[in-house]
Amino acid sequence: MNKTLYPAEPILVVDDEEAILLSIDTILQLAGMNNVLTCADSRRALEMIQKYHPSVILLDLNMPHLSGEAVQEGLIGLYPHIPIIIITGRIDAESAVECMKSGAFDYIVKPVNEKRLIETVKKSLQYKELLQENETAGKKSGKDQLKNPQAFAALRSHSPKMFQIFTYAESVAPTLQPVLIRGETGTGKELMARAIHTVSGCPGEFVAVNVAGLDDNVFADTLYGHIKGAFTGAENQRPGLIDKAANGTLFLDEIGDLSPGSQIKLLRLLQEKEYMPLGQDSNRRSTARIIASTHVDLWDLQNRELFRQDLHYRLRTHRILLPPLRERPEDIGLLVEHFAAWSAEALHRPKPHIPRELTTMLLSYQFPGNIRELQAMVFDAIARHKSGVLSLAIFRHHIWQASRDEGRSRDVEEQPQGVTLAFAEPLPTIKEATRMLVETAMQRAGHNQTIAALMLGISQQALSKRLKNRQKD
């Protein structure tokens, strides 16, 4: 009888110490991962990778002949989709951060902790499987037709919905016609505008300006510039952002807040490709491509006569609607890992272990601030992190605080506590209401007691006791 191998593609361990190879092999075998290859000579690592196509690589940093850093550098370029777990005897945070910056998936420290090793390898296998699944899904949704995937790298996503948007954005980018990007605050509208600029091939600069709150004079001076003596204090000629964005892209953020007078000036720029610096009596030609964004519904503003219909139509030659984070649940884990690594690097500290329960807990949150809110949450958690596993309590407090603030923004008289519960008649007893609350928390937490307890504000032991009592009833 043939023995079933798991994983299907082998785990490759590269270390010059035979004792370490034997120890890791034994630990993984006992954990059910029986497809393990070992390599004691770093010079043979690339040969073995080319021959066996491993699913995960565990790589020691300190080896004779060819260092782990050198091996890693070559692997990242040739096999970017294979997760690399660094094995290091150097406990200092600097080496760990450098490994992660170079593209390593994670790291473990000698002497190898059995639990840490198994968790890290399993996590990397799940990551590899997720990449393969999304590659398949991406092909079905048109990802294989994306010619410039690197242009959209900053918009990190596994979502088929996002890849459809990437494909559309890539197709309209070379037309140089105006693009209107809609989406809630924090969904990445400026990142999308930058991606379109990159794909367009325009040789000029990408110039961004937030037009919210600019009065007509400031708007005109900011965009079109002025000549010397145009107004009191104009001692020198100053070019506007239109000039700076020549042969490039001018990104107008929050276009829905533009005043009526400024809307007229912008309409002429779009219609005639002409503008007039303040104080000048002749027009200049613009060679800048216009991309605008807004978090509000311009149709609603247009119907209320707060936004010009003709300008709206000019701006929306091409239209992109970015989905909120709550409609991209498959991206939450990816973004948490990315922001954790980014935050750790910015704070000059090692990236902590991210508990699996965190993603499950965040899936129950609506994220009114979207990706920007998630980034702030992760940064705050990393900044306050001490050691070991990243604390879930910090995220739970943020979610509780956001929910409380949202409740306060509603009608205080109707909802003095920020939350209203409606029960059918007759009212349930305290015991029945508690049971329903526990059941709802367990469902939202995917039956994870740790997360459910955090949602309820009680200890896991207290929740476990309640669940046991429920079974006795």
pLDDT tens, position by position, 40-60: 999 899 889 989 999 999 999
What topology is assigned to 430-472 in CATH?
Answer: Arc Repressor Mutant, subunit A (1.10.10)
Strand order of the sheet with strand 289-294? 206-210, 249-253, 289-294, 179-182, 318-321
Q: Helix, strand, or coil here: 62? A: coil
Confidence at residue 127, expressed as pLDDT on a 0 to 100 scale: 73
The two structure tokens encoding residue 152: 């959209």
Confidence at residue 411, expressed as pLDDT on a 0 to 100 scale: 41
CATH number 3.40.630.10 is the correct assignment for the domain at 147-323: no
Domain with CATH 1.10.10 in the chain: 430-472
Q: Which amino acid is at 75?
A: L
The pLDDT-based confidence of 412 (bands split at 50, 70, 90) is very low
What topology is assigned to 326-409 in CATH?
Answer: Helicase, Ruva Protein; domain 3 (1.10.8)
**DSSP-assigned letters across all residues of 255-280:** GGG--HHHHHHHHHHHHHSEE--BT-
Q: What is the pLDDT of residues 281-334, one digit of tens each?
A: 778 899 999 999 999 989 889 889 999 989 998 998 899 999 999 999 899 999
The two structure tokens encoding residue 90: 């150097």
Domain with CATH 1.10.8.60 in the chain: 326-409
Mean pLDDT (the chain) is 84
- 379 pLDDT exceeds 90? yes
The two structure tokens encoding residue 344: 């750790």
Q: Helix, strand, or coil here: 373? A: helix
- 90 pLDDT exceeds 50? yes
How far apart CA 451 and CA 125 sit, in angstroms, is: 24
Once rounded to an integer, what is the mean pLDDT over residues 249-272?
92
CATH number 3.40.50.2300 is the correct assignment for the domain at 11-137: yes
Task: Please state whether beta strands 284-285 and 274-275 pair in parallel, antiparallel, or not at all (unpaired).
Answer: antiparallel
pTM (two decimals): 0.61
How far apart CA 142 and CA 167 sit, in angstroms, is: 7
Confidence at residue 217, expressed as pLDDT on a 0 to 100 scale: 86
Once rounded to an integer, what is the mean pLDDT over residues 400-423?
54
